[in-house]
Amino acid sequence: MSAKPARRVKANPLRDLPLAKVYQTIEPGPVVLLATAEGGRANVMAMSWHMMVDFEPPLIACIVSEGDYSFAALCATRECVIAIPAVEIAETVVKIGNSSGRDIDKFAAFDLTKIKAKRVSAPLVGECFVNLECKVKDTTLVDKYGLFILEVVKAWQDPKQRHARTIHHHGYGRFVVDGERITLKSRMR
């Protein structure tokens, strides 16, 4: 009777991924702009930490750091606009994310077009291909994580930017641009 060959245990071929780099691998959505307006003063920041939470009404979770000037405006007004920029204005998006409304008027400094929104005081950003007017729905996790749940109450799209390609942040100034589209049979709507 021949003995069963022992199962060869292969050495783990994987390598450590530093915990500090995890966010660079799983960052989900496009970099967006978050516009606010407090006391008639409009501001805008860049944001990549966000996710969909529900279909309809659309709910979006997002992380806005307490250190951002936008944080106070979002807490005070409980309203904002999430505007989605295409790759063509990526450099402006980064400049928006590298500066603070505390120091400058970013709409003026970066030549952004303010368009009056319908349901919120924050402006739409004319250069973006989608604009979502949002009301803060849930602040339960703001103190702990800076996590706001936003409800989209009105949405706009720019018909001239039908094939807009988004940018996705992989950390430290590296971005991936939305690419080829494929269609597969998926049960997920």
Ligand X SMILES: Cc1cc2nc3c(=O)[nH]c(=O)nc-3n(C[C@H](O)[C@H](O)[C@H](O)COP(=O)(O)O)c2cc1C
Q: Which residues bind ligand X (CB under 6 A)?
A: 31, 43, 45-49, 63-65, 68-70, 94, 97, 99-102, 169
**Three-state SS for 159?**
helix
Distance, CA of 66 to CA of 148 (rounded, Å)? 11
Give the DSSP H or E segment for 143: helix 142-145
Fill in the DSSP letter of residue 21: G
**Judged by CB, which is closer to ligand X: 75, or 153?**
75
**Judged by CB, which is closer to ligand X: 70, or 131?**
70
Distance, CA of 41 to CA of 93 (rounded, Å)? 19
Nearest-approach distance from CB 158 to ligand X, in angstroms: 21
Nearest-approach distance from CB 47 to ligand X, in angstroms: 4
Give residue 104's identity as a one-letter amino acid code: I
Nearest-approach distance from CB 36 to ligand X, in angstroms: 8
**Judged by CB, which is closer to ligand X: 65, or 113?**
65
Fill in the DSSP letter of residue 89: G
Nearest-approach distance from CB 88 to ligand X, in angstroms: 16
**Judged by CB, which is closer to ligand X: 68, or 133?**
68
Distance, CA of 173 to CA of 12 (rounded, Å)? 32
Nearest to 102 by CA among 77, 72, 75: 72
**Judged by CB, which is closer to ligand X: 47, or 152?**
47
Residue with the closest Cβ to ligand X?
97
Nearest-approach distance from CB 180 to ligand X, in angstroms: 23
